[in-house]
Amino acid sequence: MRAALITQPRTLELQEVPAPTPGPGQVRVRVGATGVCGTDVHLFDGHFHARLPLIPGHEIAGVIDQVGAGVRELEEGQLVALDPVIACGQCWACRRGQRQHCLRFEALGVTQAGGFAQYVLAPAANAYPVRHLSVAEAAFAEPLGCVAWGILRLRPEPGSNALLFGAGPIGLLLMQALLVSGVTEVTVVDPVAERLALAKSLGASHTVQTGPSMAQALRDLEPHGFDIVAEATGIPSVVEDMPRYAAVGGKLLIFGVAPEEATVRISPYDIFQRDLSLIGSFSLNATIPLALNWLESGRIRVEPLISHRMPLEELHKALEYKEHPGMGNALKVLITPEG
Ligand SMILES: [Zn+2]
Ligand SMILES: [Zn+2]
């Protein structure tokens, strides 16, 4: 089969490799679409303790074409979305229901062969049957599963309002998830006008462009601050400014992936005195079913977020788009190995 491999840091090679055969409890999936994500760039750079060579790609959807011994519930020909997190089920974290913190953490496309290939193996328990969705929509189950975990962590109050920094693909998923989870109004901030227009068309109540007048514009909208302030930027200076936009009793959600070594200055007195909550959200935790419910109900729309569909041969270009936001006007890029 054809596969894209990171052979060493910053080297991507398209290779012909043997197609895998499913062992007991595994299924083989013919990949229909795999989303390109910032994590893939980190792996390409050799971060995340990447064990190379590696076939990356963890936002995977496709059709089961072989099932291993002992697989129940699934059969050949079924369209599935894959949960990339492979948890041992036995360690301290797994026993506390924190699969994404498994002490023997493995993940498709991160520590094991992923979806930038014609075929991928997955434990049957990680393959979720999909109904009424295209394979491209199903490839959003993983990023939306991460958003779903963020929503479960955040627990938005009914009728609350939210301020969201970042209108990239993840920000636009998070915005829609807030709106189907009890939040009445979401104000979206981003430097790119086209992204703000898309946010508006997907349900943002207000949009504000990043710039010198931004702080005043946000104060004019909500003089007492927002109940929820979330970010999907990974930019430390954005995180640092979040408390000033929060209402008393407000919740701050850090959703973007900041550089590991970055630090920010936040006033403990401010967090204390205004009853603020600071919430993190890592990866996904058995939240693919919630993501699929949102997608299958049509309540969260992902087609408008797809800017490119590329063959495996162009994964290199897709990673470049991810490294340089704004390049190629890219939002979500899907790799479609079957062309
Ligand atoms: Zn991802
Ligand atoms: Zn475990």
Ligand 1 mean position, distance from CA 255 (Å): 12
pLDDT at 280 over 80: yes
What pLDDT band is residue 50 in, cutting at 50, 70 and 90?
confident
Residue 244 tokens read as 């000033």
Residue 240 tokens read as 């640092």
pLDDT at 339 over 80: no
Note whether 195 and 329 are within 8 A (CB): no
Superfamily of the domain at 2-140+302-335: Medium-chain alcohol dehydrogenases, catalytic domain (3.90.180.10)
CATH 3.40.50.720 fits 147-280, yes or no: yes
Taking the CA of 40 as reference, the closest ligand is: 1
Taking the CA of 88 as reference, the closest ligand is: 2
Ligand 2 mean position, distance from CA 153 (Å): 20
Where exactly are the structural domains of the chain?
Answer: 2-140+302-335, 147-280
Phi-psi label, residue 23: left if phi above 0, alpha if psi -120 to 50, beta otherwise: beta
The predicted model gives 198-223 an average pLDDT of 98
Kindly list the protein residues that place their beta carbon closer than 5 angstroms to ligand 1, a single-atom ion: 37, 39
The predicted model gives 283-289 an average pLDDT of 97
What pLDDT band is residue 51 in, cutting at 50, 70 and 90?
confident
Ligand 1 mean position, distance from CA 227 (Å): 27
Ligand 1 mean position, distance from CA 59 (Å): 6
The predicted model gives 64-72 an average pLDDT of 97
pLDDT at 37 over 80: yes
For residue range 119-143, what is the model confidence (pLDDT) as tens digits?
999 999 999 999 999 999 999 999 9
pTM value?
Answer: 0.97
For residue range 230-255, what is the model confidence (pLDDT) as tens digits?
999 999 999 999 999 999 999 999 99
